[in-house]
A and B are shown apart, each in its own frame.
Chain A
Amino acid sequence: TQLLEQSPQFLSIQEGENLTVYCNSSSVFSSLQWYRQEPGEGPVLLVTVVTGGEVKKLKRLTFQFGDARKDSSLHITAAQPGDTGLYLCAGATLLNTGGFKTIFGAGTRLFVKA
């Protein structure tokens, strides 16, 4: 059974601080997505990383895919209250049928205090 371990599960920080969220697995993924979800809404796709070692930046957010494509991190610089939400990583694996299977991490609930 594939598992995607996400940590920390909860993070409460002051505005302006930096933070990193980690997702780790023993499985190799063809791609990994990061989502952000706010209360009462569905998850919103932030980024997809595909290549081992890939780094993508989205304003103050930096996403990295591990060299072996088994792990990923999300780093937020100078967090703002608007960053508050549930962050989810999701690893996708291609199937022999041509489809894919996605597993989600447990999520990191981030609260940024003003």
Chain B
Amino acid sequence: SAVISQKPSRDICQRGTSLTIQCQVDSQVTMMFWYRQQPGQSLTLIATANQGSEATYESGFVIDKFPISRPNLTFSTLTVSNMSPEDSSIYLCSVVLPGQGDEQYFGPGTRLTVT
């Protein structure tokens, strides 16, 4: 498995501002994902952030709203830009470890509330 940390763990932000969420992994991974989860509900994939290439966004998510950086094999950031109350959610990063197929390991999540 892997130890994955996220910062911040939670935040309350004003409408129109931006928040950058950090994801740190204790080992080198190629594949990293960002998800959004409404409390008590399932996960929706925002984008895939593989090191060495541009992030790939899922339908309904765009780079201008959710810019992603992946500077190295252990770190990534997701920015939620120009926030609105509809962006209130839990944001999770996950990784796939080398040689472990498609099994994903998740960070603890960042709970975002936009007022």
Range for the number of chain B residues in contact with chain A? 20 to 34
Q: How far is the CA of A100 from the CA of B96 in the complex (A)?
A: 11
Q: Is B45 touching A102 in the complex (CB atoms < 8 A)?
A: yes
How would residues 89 to 106 of chain A score, 1 for a CB under 8 Å from any chain B CB and 0 otherwise? Answer: 010100000011010111
Q: Is A42 touching B92 in the complex (CB atoms < 8 A)?
A: yes
Residues in B lying within 8 Å of A, measured CB to CB: 1, 4, 31, 40-43, 45, 48, 92, 94, 101-109, 111
How far is the CB of B108 from the nearest CB of chain A, in Å?
Answer: 5
Contacts A6-B42, A48-B102, A92-B101 aside, 8 further interface pairs with beta carbons under 8 A come to A40-B109, A42-B4, A42-B107, A45-B1, A88-B43, A90-B104, A102-B104, A104-B42
Q: Is A107 touching B42 in the complex (CB atoms < 8 A)?
A: yes
Q: How far is the CA of A92 from the CA of B41 in the complex (A)?
A: 19
B107 surroundings in chain A (CB, below 8 A)? 42
Q: How far is the CA of A21 from the CA of B42 in the complex (A)?
A: 15
Q: How far is the CA of A109 from the CA of B92 in the complex (A)?
A: 19
Q: Is A33 touching B103 in the complex (CB atoms < 8 A)?
A: yes
Q: How far is the CA of A30 from the CA of B102 in the complex (A)?
A: 9
Q: How far is the CA of A92 from the CA of B101 in the complex (A)?
A: 10
Q: How far is the CA of A33 from the CA of B100 in the complex (A)?
A: 12
